[in-house]
Amino acid sequence: MVLEKSFAEKEQAYNPYQVAVEQLERVAEIMKLDPSIVEILKHPKRVVTVAIPVRMDDGTVRVFVGYRSQHNDALGPFKGGVRFHPNVTLDEVKALSMWMTWKCAVAGLPYGGGKGGVVVDPHKLSKAELERLSRGYFSAIANVVGPYQDIPAPDVYTDAQVMSWFMDEYSKIKGYNVFGVVTGKPVAIGGSLGRDTATARGLSFVVEEAAKKLRINLKESSVAIQGYGNAGSYTHMFLEKLGAKVVAVSDSKGGIYSAQGLSYKDVMEHKKKTGSVVGFKGAKTITNDELLTLDVDILVPAALENQITQNNAAKVKARLVVEAANGPTTPEADDILYSEGVTVIPDILANSGGVTTSYLEWVQNIQGYYWSAEKVDETLKEMMVRAFRAVWETTQKYSVDMRKGAYIYAVGRVVEAMKLRGWI
């Protein structure tokens, strides 16, 4: 007898690393890649696990667990963010580091892929505790990072302040300023203009390109955004500027819906005052799950992994799904969406504006020469449009969905570099 697994069991069974490997295997088959290459690419080159003792404000000591996964550096130093989240696992960080390898390759950056994480709910720490944890984590991984080795950046629940502490700690260890060891820093200490809004800015360029190809009139389009962190909130701002109507947004506490549309400025003000988008005047409260299946033209998952799955993919009504989050769609859901005619712009393309602007920040750091906001914006646009077109062409050429198209393009670049370097 086959027992149907409960929803909770299915959720538990989800493993982001297995998803990342499955995505790789799917395109390896299409590309007819040598199995030994696939075997190399399945495994991160190095994974570091650290224990971080932190003196809490009450005098006790708590030990936090942190990771840094360095997946592949054939194209250049490892690159990728660090997340502080209570549900961080080693397999999650490994998956995210592999996704960074493909993302940097899609974006045309001279970088490989890395990712870090600390198992912690940063909202439960005081600012002083958060600083001690950030410094402790960075000093624990200091010997495996560096501007030509591995360059961390912000991710879920880390920000420019955390990057300042990372950079300062590393500079203290070295004995001189090393701005280029971390990106996403505040502008006052080596950050780039435009880095804070870059993920959403890049996403808006990609949406404009996709709209042209798919003949979507953005001025008549409705949008739902799941997640209201850096990527989600600024996506609201930029898509509103393009004339789209954002009818639903959400955060970890729940979602809001208004058929008339939600103003970015007003929702942000409410979130700043109350700590959540929930309770916004004139909007109906909805759940995060309801948001995903709303009758909208464009759906932007901008929270965490594993949101569009085989359980809800058939109910998605949007024509275009744009992944601001990393890994929100499972491979089974990809197949369902593709068969229903839904276009998914994959994370490794859609949210690559963040790491692309990190690259521009790093270039400015190592040259010691800083750019205007206009120059950053123009360069980002040029690079995003180029990446979109390359992925679109590959997708057409192989008659596949856009994730596979992006993977074929990215994996091809990484494998070429590995072959040239004599790794295989």
Residues annotated as part of the active site: 115
Q: How many CB atoms lie within 10 A of CB 41?
A: 24
SS3 (DSSP) at 92? helix
Q: Which CB, 225 or 355, lies closer to ligand GLU?
A: 355
Angle subtended by helix axes 90-106 and 16-31, to nearest 10? 40
Residue 199 annotated as binding?
A: yes
* Residue 351 beta carbon to ligand GLU: minimum distance, rounded to whole angstroms: 6
* Residue 154 beta carbon to ligand GLU: minimum distance, rounded to whole angstroms: 6
Q: Which CB, 250 or 352, lies closer to ligand GLU?
A: 352
Distance CA 159, CA 406 (A): 28
Residue 281 annotated as binding?
A: no
* Residue 81 beta carbon to ligand GLU: minimum distance, rounded to whole angstroms: 3
* Residue 53 beta carbon to ligand GLU: minimum distance, rounded to whole angstroms: 26
Residue 287 has, within 13 A of its CA and on its CB side, a CA count of: 4
Residue 79 annotated as binding?
A: yes
Distance CA 220, CA 161 (A): 38
Q: Which CB, 136 or 353, lies closer to ligand GLU?
A: 353
Distance CA 393, CA 389 (A): 6
Q: Which CB, 179 or 280, lies closer to ligand GLU?
A: 179
The residues of the shown chain that bind ligand GLU, judged by CB under 6 A, are 79-81, 103, 153, 155, 183-184, 326, 351, 354-355, 358
* Residue 354 beta carbon to ligand GLU: minimum distance, rounded to whole angstroms: 4
**Parallel, antiparallel, or unpaired for β 61-72 and 46-55?**
antiparallel
Residue 171 annotated as binding?
A: no
Q: Which CB, 87 or 396, lies closer to ligand GLU?
A: 87
Tokens 């798919």: give the residue: 214
Widest distance between CA atoms in the chain = 67
Residue 381 annotated as binding?
A: no
Q: Which CB, 221 or 358, lies closer to ligand GLU?
A: 358
**Is-contact 189 160, C-beta < 8 A?**
no
* Residue 403 beta carbon to ligand GLU: minimum distance, rounded to whole angstroms: 16
SS3 (DSSP) at 144? helix
DSSP string, 254-323: EEEE-TT---HHHHHHHHHHHSSSTT-TT-EEE-HHHHHTSS-SEEEE-S-SS-B-TTTGGG---SEEE-
**Parallel, antiparallel, or unpaired for β 113-119 and 61-72?**
antiparallel
Sheet holding 61-72, edge to edge: 46-55, 61-72, 113-119, 78-85, 150-154
DSSP-derived letter for residue 36 is: H
* Residue 120 beta carbon to ligand GLU: minimum distance, rounded to whole angstroms: 17
The rounded Cα 243 to chain-centroid distance in angstroms is 25
Q: Which CB, 96 or 292, lies closer to ligand GLU?
A: 96
- Which residue sits closest to ligand GLU, CB atoms considered? 81
Q: Which residues are annotated as a binding site for substrate?
A: 79, 103, 358
